[in-house]
């Protein structure tokens, strides 16, 4: 599933391509992926593109908003006006379920292999209610997310295991399986370690890792190991920098011990037993 760096990359790229344009037409072949009255957004001007957790928010004129959630395999691909494919060959295919035609002739494709993603139409007040209902935790790259704030948050979860806690969207927004693995490897903390067993150095390194790794992944345009693609169809390059995620059986870059995995709550954690205690 795309995580914060992937979603932020898409938001940044869409800002450059679709803001200021109007929605001229919408076509879709999978009704379950579209929630709301599409007719309401025809002719609406795109005012901004932003993100909350892993949700993409496209603000429209007239008090309307489009929300996209890519779930596991969703993609938003932008086709410039007069182009049937991107520079890397991405085009409309059998997994393209929603097509937004914009006023300049460009198109935004919503592809989804597994069909778990969705687009929803909300008025401004309903949008606020929908976001609040999700009870997302703080944005980890916001000014409000300080080390002191992180320490206070951890103090409320003494018996929680650190790996699933970092992935809990009500605790911190946007971190998933990839980056929780990488953050904990950076901090040299075992994914099964409980919060109450973390020392001050552990906490400081986890906090540092959250900021450092998420920012680096955004600069690399995300991690394309599976189906994630940028709006251009290009891959993000952070996969080339990962230290443990999906490297089971391969040597640790630091101690040369083999990367191992452990199941935690139905998810697979990757770690180095020699480095992460």
Share of the chain above pLDDT 90, in %: 99
Instruction: Write the CB contacts of 169 (distance below 8 Å, at least 6 apart in sequence).
Output: 53, 54, 134, 136, 137
In angstroms, the CA 46 to CA 224 distance is 28
Q: What is the mean pLDDT of residues 83-87?
A: 96
SS3 of residue 100 by DSSP: strand
Whether 54 sits among the annotated catalytic residues: the reply is yes
CATH 1.10.8.50 domain locations along the chain: 147-271
Compute CA 243 distance to the chain's CA centroid, rounded to the nearest angstrom. 19
Average pLDDT of the chain is: 97
129: exposed, middle or buried (Cβ count in 10 Å: 0-12, 13-18, 19+): exposed
Backbone angle region of 89, left / alpha / beta, with phi > 0 → left and psi within -120 to 50 → alpha: left
Is residue 265 predicted with pLDDT exceeding 90? no
| SS3 state of residue 125 | helix
Does this model's pTM top 0.75? My answer is yes
CATH 3.20.190.10 domain range(s) in the chain: 4-134
Q: Residue 239 pLDDT more than 90?
A: yes
Query: Options 3.90.1150.10, 3.20.190.10, 3.40.190.170, 3.40.605.10; which CATH number does 4-134 get?
Result: 3.20.190.10
Q: Which of 227, 243, 253, 248 is nearest to 90 (CA)?
A: 227
Pick the catalytic residue: 139, 194, 267, 273?
267
Distance of CA 237 to the CA centre of its chain: 15
147-271 folds as: Helicase, Ruva Protein; domain 3 (1.10.8)
Q: Which of 13, 17, 51, 54 is catalytic?
A: 54
Task: Note the pLDDT of residue 266.
Answer: 87
Cβ pair 34, 98 in contact under 8 A: yes
- The reported pLDDT for the residue numbered 249 is 98
């Amino acid at each position: 599933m795309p995580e914060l760096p992937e979603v932020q990359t898409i938001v940044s790229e869409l800002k450059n391509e679709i803001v200021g344009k109007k929605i001229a037409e919408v076509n879709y072949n999978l009704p379950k992926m579209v929630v709301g009255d599409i007719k309401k957004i025809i002719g609406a001007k795109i005012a901004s593109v932003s993100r909350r957790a892993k949700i993409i928010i496209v603000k429209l004129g007239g008090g309307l908003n489009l929300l996209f959630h890519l779930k596991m395999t969703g993609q938003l691909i932008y086709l410039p006006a007069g182009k049937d494919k991107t520079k890397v060959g991405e085009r409309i295919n059998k997994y393209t379920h929603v097509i937004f035609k914009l006023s300049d002739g460009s198109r935004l494709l919503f592809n989804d292999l597994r069909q778990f993603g969705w687009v929803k139409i909300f008025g401004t007040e309903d949008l606020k209610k929908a976001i609040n209902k999700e009870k997302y935790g703080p944005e980890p790259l916001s000014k409000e997310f300080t080390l002191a704030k992180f320490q206070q948050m951890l103090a409320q979860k003494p018996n929680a295991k650190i790996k699933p806690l970092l992935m809990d969207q009500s605790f911190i927004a946007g971190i998933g399986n990839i980056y929780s693995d990488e953050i904990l490897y950076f901090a040299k903390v075992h994914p099964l370690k409980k919060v109450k067993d973390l020392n001050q150095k552990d906490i400081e390194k986890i906090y540092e890792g959250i900021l450092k790794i998420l920012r680096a992944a955004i600069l690399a345009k995300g991690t394309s190991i599976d189906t994630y693609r940028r709006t251009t169809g290009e891959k993000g390059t952070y996969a080339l920098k990962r230290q443990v995620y999906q490297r089971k059986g391969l040597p640790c870059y630091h101690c040369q011990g083999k990367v191992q995995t452990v199941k935690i709550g139905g998810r697979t954690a990757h770690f180095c037993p020699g480095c992460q205690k």
